[in-house]
C-alpha cells in the first residue's frame, strides 16, 4: 500500500516547531538515546553532520551543563546558546581534521554520532554506496577519537554493502542494533546502526 507523497508539514515537523527544535530529526536521536540509554550527564559527544542542530539540542540536554558536545558540519550551525556545545565548519575528509577537532576538544569522546548524508543523485546504488562511505568515515573517526566502552551511531541507506559494514561493527562493539526511528519519512531508505560498548 502506498504511503503517498512526502508532506513536509507532517506530525513530526509540526511537533518540532512546537517544541522549539530545529529539525524533525531531533526525534530520531531522542528515540535512539532512550531505547539504548546512550547519553549520560557529563559525557563528551561528537556529532558529525550536525547542521542545523536538531541532534545537538537533544544531546546537550542529556549530557547537561557539565558535558561537552562538539557539532561538525560543512554548513555553519547557528549557536545554540548552551556553553557545553561548540560547533565548527569542518570537513571530516580533510587531512587536518583530527588536528582541528583536537583544537575544539582535546580529549576522546564517549559517543560519536553521525548524521552525515550524501547529496542524493536519485540513483539508488550510487546513493547507497556514498552513504556507506560516509558511515565508514564516521566509524574511522570513532576508532581514533572514541573511548573504550563508548558508543557509535551512524545513519546510512540500507542496501549495497550494508551487511559487510554491520559485520565490521559487530567485530568492534559488544552489541550492534539496526534502528529505523518513528520520525523517519515513509519513503526513506535510511536506518541507523548503533554500536554499543566498544571493545
Angstrom CA distances, 34 to 59, 70, 162, stand at: 11, 20, 24
pTM over 0.85: yes
DSSP-assigned beta bridge partners for residue 198: 173
**Residues marked as catalytic:** 155
Give the mean model confidence (pLDDT) for residues 75-103.
Answer: 96
Host H or E run for residue 97: helix 97-104
CA distance 44 to 169: 21
What confidence tier does 90 reach under pLDDT thresholds 50, 70, 90?
very high
- Percent of the chain scored above 90 by pLDDT? 80
Give the mean model confidence (pLDDT) for residues 49-70.
Answer: 97
Give the mean model confidence (pLDDT) for residues 46-67.
Answer: 97
pLDDT at 187 over 60: yes
pLDDT at 7 over 80: no
pLDDT single digits (tens) 99-144? 999 999 999 999 999 999 998 898 999 999 999 999 999 999 999 9
Nearest to 38 by CA among 181, 190, 189, 188: 181
Q: What is the DSSP secondary structure assignment for residue 187, as one 8-state letter?
A: T
pLDDT at 4 over 60: no
Give the mean model confidence (pLDDT) for residues 161-172.
Answer: 96
Give the mean model confidence (pLDDT) for residues 31-41.
Answer: 97
How is residue 41 written as a grid cell? Answer: 550527564
CA distance 143 to 58: 24
pLDDT, position 93: 94
Nearest to 54 by CA among 32, 175, 164: 32
pLDDT, position 3: 46
Domain 11-198 falls under CATH 3.40.50.150: yes
- Percent of the chain scored above 70 by pLDDT? 93
Q: What is the DSSP secondary structure assignment for residue 58, as one 8-state letter?
A: H
CA distance 23 to 134: 21
User: What's the whole-number average pLDDT of the chain?
Assistant: 92
Dihedral angle computed from the Cα positions of residues 136, 197, 70 and 49, in that order, rounded to the nearest 10 degrees = 30
pLDDT, position 145: 97
CA distance 132 to 112: 16
pLDDT, position 159: 86
Dihedral sign, Cα of residue 129, residue 3, residue 193, residue 76: positive
CA distance 162 to 164: 5
Host H or E run for residue 89: strand 85-89
What confidence tier does 2 reach under pLDDT thresholds 50, 70, 90?
very low
Q: Indicate the domain borders of the chain.
A: 11-198
Amino acid at each position: 500500500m502506498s504511503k503517498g507523497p512526502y508532506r513536509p508539514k507532517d506530525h513530526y515537523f509540526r511537533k518540532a516547531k512546537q517544541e522549539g527544535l530545529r529539525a524533525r530529526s531531533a526525534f530520531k536521536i531522542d528515540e535512539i538515546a532512550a531505547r539504548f540509554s546512550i547519553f549520560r550527564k557529563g559525557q563528551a559527544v561528537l556529532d558529525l553532520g550536525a547542521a542545523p542542530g536538531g541532534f545537538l539540542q537533544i544531546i546537550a540536554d542529556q549530557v547537561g551543563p557539565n558535558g561537552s558536545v562538539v557539532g561538525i558540519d560543512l554548513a555553519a550551525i547557528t549557536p545554540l546558546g548552551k556553553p557545553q556545545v561548540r560547533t565548527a565548519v569542518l570537513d571530516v575528509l580533510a587531512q587536518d581534521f583530527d588536528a582541528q577537532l583536537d583544537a575544539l576538544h582535546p580529549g576522546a569522546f564517549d559517543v560519536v554520532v553521525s548524521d552525515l548524508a550524501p547529496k542524493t543523485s536519485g540513483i539508488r546504488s550510487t546513493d547507497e554506496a556514498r552513504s556507506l562511505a560516509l558511515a565508514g568515515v564516521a566509524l574511522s573517526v570513532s576508532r581514533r577519537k572514541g573511548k573504550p566502552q563508548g558508543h557509535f551511531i551512524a545513519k546510512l541507506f540500507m542496501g549495497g554493502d550494508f551487511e559487510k559494514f554491520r559485520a565490521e561493527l559487530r567485530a568492534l562493539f559488544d552489541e550492534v542494533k539496526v534502528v529505523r526511528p518513528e520520525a523517519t519519512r515513509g519513503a526513506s531508505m535510511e536506518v541507523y546502526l548503533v554500536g554499543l560498548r566498544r571493545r
